[in-house]
Chains A and B, each alone.
Chain A
Amino acid sequence: MDPLSLGAIVAFSTILVLFSGISVAAGLLVVSAGFLIVFDGASSLNLMPEVFFGKLDNFALLSIPMFIIMGAAIASTRAGADLYEALERWLTRVPGGLVISNLGACALFSAMSGSSPATCAAIGKMGIPEMRKRGYPDSVAAGSIAAGGTLGILIPPSVTMIVYGIATETSIGRLFLAGVLPGLLLVALFMAWSIYSTARSSDGSALIPTSYSWAQRFEILPRVLPFLAIILGVLYAMYGGIATPSETAAVGALLCLVIAMVIYSMWSPVAIWAVLRDSTRESVMILFIIGAAGVFSYMLSSLFITQSIAEWIGGMDVNRWVLMGMINLFLLIAGFFLPPVAVILMAAPILLPIITTAGFDPIWFAVVLTINMEIGLISPPVGLNLYVINGIAPDIKLKTILVGSLPYVGCMVVAIILLCLFPGIATWLPDMIMGAEL
């Protein structure tokens, strides 16, 4: 059988197996084992644990649990509320100050957390009730936080960027920098939509800023200092010659745990264990997918499917932007169903040669891919952030959350289009700080 038809059969089987309700990692192992038995013989199965171990045998993976712990530790304190409150007290003259503060807090929190749900939960816990109390429509209150939370994987540090860097052997330090400006662009788009939507749907009274005295403004400042300390500490360690990005993650985790314990008095073993348990749970889930996806991509490569698909698409005579559009559509659909890490690990080995041949920058592509994954996080059926919001504010109907998130998906599509028109949004910062690309 030629590798392309074989590829189609593998793709179909994978979809079928993954939709059965089996866990994603086990499903990938099942599909791999099945095709290896049939096409490489049963004796090739003994390679599976070897390849699995080989995938996990990578120091850079350390940063995944570390960046998750950073977010989880801070999210377990009232720090998120402090953050948006401080922002709001200082943004007195800005209409819609509260939703802007919440989105700003999401962006800042994203600079400390490598994953999206933690960002969502940390800011949303206090932010959503507060916005509703002040008369913001439920759709904006829920949608803005769901969307703001997705910044966790775009603004550095980011677990998906680490996984992309490992899968494609691109510099993680460079990928992190590439996410900064697109992250800020998204925040600006989210803010613009939130204000517009609020002004349109209510009488606009929600947008009237509350005024605060200077005493109130200064009083809250010390409470955001820990954030600045963490962000500056991590940045200094990463770009200041102290440690590599993977090592820096451990410094960040330590800082966040210590600050949560010392400043926010998270002393009880129950509270500390809750942070560790949640982080372990999310990390192991991701790492298991990484190992299993390693076995899956070994199978694809061994059956010569990866190479054939890349050759086939490379040989198609289509406009590179049509190609990019098709890739985006594929990523979008995959992102609807699968967690970002699984999509990246399965797609990157196949897509990377295609996009570099078509003349696209892999660093720029990482940003486009990440925004696609962000859309998946706030769209059905597997929109992780939607369920986080549902957990925070159970009385907002899931339908309202869904409808409220939709315009933010639009913002992300606009951001992708802007990135295609102006690739420099992603590549300028890494090029400036780290020199032109290798």
Chain B
Amino acid sequence: MSGSSPAHTPAPHGGNPVLLAIGFISKLSGIAAALLIVISIGVTCQMIFIRFVLNGSTVWQTEGVTYMMVAATMLGLPYVQYLRGHVNVDLLPLLLPEFMRKGLALVVLLVTIAVVALMFWHGYHFWHEAWDWGETSNTPWNPKLWVPYLALPLGFGLYLLQLVADLIAVVFRVEEPFGLEPGATLADSVTEAAE
């Protein structure tokens, strides 16, 4: 009953075009996140090379890589949701009888949607404030901060989209609540295949 199982079970779509489209966007977002991580490897190694081999100045790399990691995290959110990779503890769902499980799944999804919407909304204002002030990071590189801050509304917005898709999937029974087999219980999960 570990939330983060090593197997990948992407969000099922059941042929629904909306779910397919949202899943596709989440996948693209995930690819962008992975690329940002790969680019960070390159930039960091370039920085070490400039400093250690050429004895040169490394002004923007540390800051740039940090912002890239924030962006990778934010863009990764919808994709990891799509892959069911956000770790959770499904103790209560397994204790509940099957008919109550769907209700709990809906509540959990709605609450998650609410808090992510909150982060999206205030994240947008956080970004807009920096845009409005023309705020910079005040380092020698001195980038405009609205650029890295943009990752917040963007990431939470796409995450919201995938969560809505998941809500649709549970409502229309494209996916079982919590991705659990209909008959699954706590006892099954612990002693699974025991006998």
Contacts and interface: CB of A to CB of B under 8 A. Distances in A.
Q: Do chains A and B touch in the complex (CB under 8 A)?
A: yes
Interface of A: 18-27, 29-30, 33, 45-46, 48-50, 52-53, 56-59, 61-62, 65-66, 69, 117, 121, 237, 242-243, 247, 250-251, 253-254, 257, 273, 276-277, 279-285, 287-289, 291, 337-339, 380-384, 386-388, 391, 394, 397-399
A21 B178 contact: yes
B16 interface: no
Size class of the B contact interface (CB-based, 8 Å):
35 or more
B86 A277 contact: no
Given A284-B80, A398-B190, A398-B194, A58 B66 contact: yes
A18 B89 contact: yes
A202 B99 CA distance: 47
20 contacts: A21-B88, A21-B92, A25-B86, A52-B152, A53-B70, A65-B69, A66-B41, A66-B44, A247-B47, A250-B48, A251-B45, A251-B48, A284-B80, A285-B4, A285-B87, A291-B73, A380-B190, A382-B3, A387-B2, A398-B193
Interface of B: 1-8, 30, 33-34, 37-38, 40-42, 44-45, 47-48, 52, 62-63, 65-67, 69-70, 72-73, 76-77, 79-80, 83, 85-93, 104-105, 107-108, 111-112, 114-116, 118-119, 122-123, 125-126, 148-149, 152, 156, 178, 189-194
Given A26-B116, A52-B152, A251-B48, A283 B190 contact: no
A21 B90 contact: yes
A33 B115 contact: yes
A61 B40 CA distance: 12
Contacts of A23: 3, 86-88, 112
B4 A49 contact: no
B191 A383 contact: no
A285 B85 contact: yes
B6 A117 contact: yes
B189 to A, nearest CB: 8
Given A247-B47, A281-B85, A253 B41 contact: yes
B61 to A, nearest CB: 9
B37 A69 contact: yes
